[in-house]
Amino acid sequence: MNETTAPRREEVSFTGKRIRHHSPLSFDDVLARLHARVGKTTNDNVLTQTGNREDFEANIRPRIGESGFMLFFEIDHGRWIENYGIERRLLRWIFGNPLIAITMLQHDYTAGLFVPIELLLAESDDGKTCNITCLVPSSLIATGNNPQLRAAALALDAKAEALIVSAVTA
């Protein structure tokens, strides 16, 4: 293999931020609030669309909830961790909006590693309250000197924070 065809490895270090919002509300109440604010779709509904940009956007818009997001996947960790003696309701959400994602992907395709975004809804030890843990999207997405990417990622941070705060606040 000559030098021009040899693979090249690049390493980029960065520091991500994780936030945990503690809620006085029950797991069920917070989950219901999240579902009420987020539209629902499947990955196939997004990826298998054909047509032009206008057709794509027209198909996506009705799937977006009032928060500006749609739920792609819900992973119920609580269902399988009980096999290991852990009794805790624990849901991981993968959610986002392709119309928001493109505001970042157009500036740096590696933003695709971190959109859609995620949160983890966990029942507290007492079983009466819960918390949501999430990664701050901009801390993962905007790691270099790209002002347009940073602005779009910060807008995503604000939108995600608003959704979470609206769900956990009594």
Predicted confidence (pLDDT) per residue in 119-131, tens digit: 999 999 999 999 9
pLDDT computed for residue 3 by the predictor:
62
End-to-end CA distance of the chain: 62
pLDDT one-digit tens code per residue, 12-38: 888 899 999 999 999 999 999 999 999
Q: What percent of the chain has pLDDT over 90?
A: 76
pLDDT computed for residue 163 by the predictor:
98
Residues 123-143, mean pLDDT to the nearest whole number: 95
- 68 contacts 100 by C-beta, under 8 angstroms: yes
In whole angstroms, what is the distance from residue 71 CA to residue 81 CA? 23
pLDDT computed for residue 84 by the predictor:
97
Q: Which two tokens mark 53?
A: 């940009």
Residue 103: strand, helix, or coil: helix
Q: Where are the domains positioned within the chain? A: 18-168
**Assigned architecture for domain 18-168:** 2-Layer Sandwich (3.30)
Residues 106-131, mean pLDDT to the nearest whole number: 95
* In the predicted structure, residue 1 carries a pLDDT above the cut 60: no
Residue 60 DSSP code: H
Sign of the alpha-carbon dihedral angle for 30, 32, 38, 43: positive
- 22 contacts 129 by C-beta, under 8 angstroms: yes
pLDDT one-digit tens code per residue, 62-80: 999 999 999 999 999 999 9
pLDDT computed for residue 151 by the predictor:
96
Residue 41 burial by Cβ neighbours in a 10 Å radius (0-12, 13-18, 19+): buried
Residue 19 burial by Cβ neighbours in a 10 Å radius (0-12, 13-18, 19+): middle
For residues 72 and 3, the model is more confident at 72
Least confident of 13-17, 101-105, 119-123, 155-159: 13-17
pTM of the model as a whole? 0.89
pLDDT computed for residue 105 by the predictor:
96
